[in-house]
Amino acid sequence: MTENRQITKAVIPAAGLGTRFLPATKAMPKEMLPVVDRPAIQYVVAEAVRAGLQDVLMITGRSKRALEDHFDRVPGLEASLAAKGDDEKLALVNEATALGDIHFVRQIDPQGLGHAVLCAKRHVGDEAFAVLLGDDLIGEQESLLEEMMKVQIATGGSVVALMEVEPESISAYGCADVTEIDGEDYVKVNGLVEKPAPEDAPSNLAIIGRYVLSPKVFEVLEQTGPGRGGEIQLTDALETLAQDTTPGGGVYAVKFTGRRYDTGDKLSYLKAVVELACAREDLGSGLKPWLKEFAKEL
C-alpha cells in the first residue's frame, strides 16, 4: 500500500520521434524545441521539481543525446562566462543542471507509451510515481500534479488528469468514462479507451499528459499486449487497473481546467510561445503592442 508514503519520483517518456514537427525534428529531439528561450523539456522537468519530485527519470531513445547534454554541465562555457563575470548568463546555463537528480534510461525498442513507462520499473521500484509527457506544458501557476499526488495518496490507486475537448477531437486522446464521488473534487474512472472514434467515445474527457500511478501498473503493463497502432498503450493498462478492486487497483481522475499547451502540435506550440513570451517581464512589453498592431492587419 502506498498510503502515508511520499511520492518522490517522476518519469518523463521522451523517446517519441516527433514526426508532427518534421523537418525541424529530423536531427533534433522534439523535446529540445525552444519555447521562448528554454527547451520544452526543461519546463516539464521544472514542473516535476516544483511539485517536490526531485528524482526525475527520462526515458530516451536513439538520437536523443541532446537531452542528456542539456541537463549536463558545460565546463568550458561555464568557465568562460565566469571569467567574463557574466553571472546572468552563467545562471541560465546552470538552470537545467540545478533542477534535480536526473537519470536516463534508453528505450531500445520503441513499442509505445506503455512500454516506455515499463522501462522505469527498476528505477521506480514499489512506489507510486508521476509520469509527465514531454509534449504537454502546464501553466506554471497551476498545481495539477500536487492535486493528483494528494488523490493518489488518499486512494492508493492510479490518477489521470482529464480535460474537456471538442467531441470531434477526442480521437487524438485517451478517453475516460467517469462517475462523480460525493464530497470529493476528484472522480472515479469506470473505463478508459485509447483514441476512440468520436461516435464510440464514452465522453469528451481527454487524458492529458500527467499521471500519478500505483506501482501496480508495472505488473499490468507486463501483461498488456499491443493495442491501438500496434503499440503497448498506457491507457490499456489503466483500463485494466480501473476494473481492479484489490489494493493498488482503481483509477481516479482530476479534471483540469487550467492552461495546457501541446508543444508537439504546431498550432498549439505557436500559441504557447506567444502566451509565455507575453507573460515575461523582459519580452511582454515589447511583444504585446506589436501583436496588437499585427492583429489589426489580419
Residue 73, C-alpha cell as written in the block? 554541465
Cα-flanking dihedrals φ and ψ of residue 193, to 5°?
-140, 135
Residue 152 or 235: the one with the smaller Cβ distance to ligand G1P is 235
Could you tell me how many residues of this chain bind ligand G1P (CB under 6 A)? 14
- Smallest distance from the beta carbon of 124 to ligand G1P, in angstroms? 19
Site for ligand G1P in 51-110 (CB under 6 A): none
Question: Which residue among 194, 211, 241, 253 contacts ligand G1P (CB under 6 A)?
Answer: 194
Query: Using CB under 6 A, which of 120, 207, 241, 272 touches ligand G1P?
Result: 207
Residue placing its CB nearer to ligand G1P in the complex, 14 or 277? 14
Least Å distance between CB 87 and ligand G1P? 38
Which CB sits closer to ligand G1P, 53 or 205? 205
CA atoms within 13 A on the CB side of 115: 17
Residue 206 C-beta: closest distance to ligand G1P, Å: 6
Residues 133-152 interacting with ligand G1P (rule: CB under 6 A): 133, 135-136
- 138/258 Cα distance (integer angstroms): 8
Contact by Cβ (8 Å): 40, 262: no
Among 71, 173, 218, 269, binds ligand G1P (CB under 6 A): 173
Place of cell 527547451: 39
Confirm if 206 and 165 have CB atoms less than 8 A apart: yes
Q: Per CB under 6 A, does 116 bind ligand G1P?
A: no
Residue sitting closest to ligand G1P (CB)? 174
Of residues 148 and 277, the one with the C-beta less far from ligand G1P: 148
The Cα–Cα gap between 166 and 229 comes to: 23
Near ligand G1P by CB under 6 A: residue from 113, 178, 205, 217:
113
Residue 7 vs 161, nearer CB to ligand G1P: 161
Residue 209 sits in the site that holds ligand G1P (CB under 6 A)? yes
Cβ distance to ligand G1P smaller for residue 55 or 135? 135
Neighbours of 162 (CB within 10 A): 24
Distance CA 202, CA 43 (A): 32
Between residues 52 and 110, which has the closer beta carbon with respect to ligand G1P?
110
CB of 135 to ligand G1P, least distance (A): 6
Q: Which residues, numbered 212-271, are part of the site for ligand G1P (CB under 6 A)?
A: 233-235
> Cα-Cα-Cα-Cα dihedral of 24, 25, 26, 32, to 10°?
110
In the complex, minimum distance from the CB of residue 39 to ligand G1P, in angstroms, rounded to a whole number: 18
State which residue, 94 or 190, has the beta carbon closest to ligand G1P: 190
Question: Among 59, 208, 254, 272, which residue interacts with ligand G1P (rule: CB under 6 A)?
Answer: 208
Cell numbers placing 38: 528554454
Cα distance between residue 73 and residue 59, in whole Å: 20
Site residues for ligand G1P per CB under 6 A: 113, 133, 135-136, 173-174, 194, 206-209, 233-235
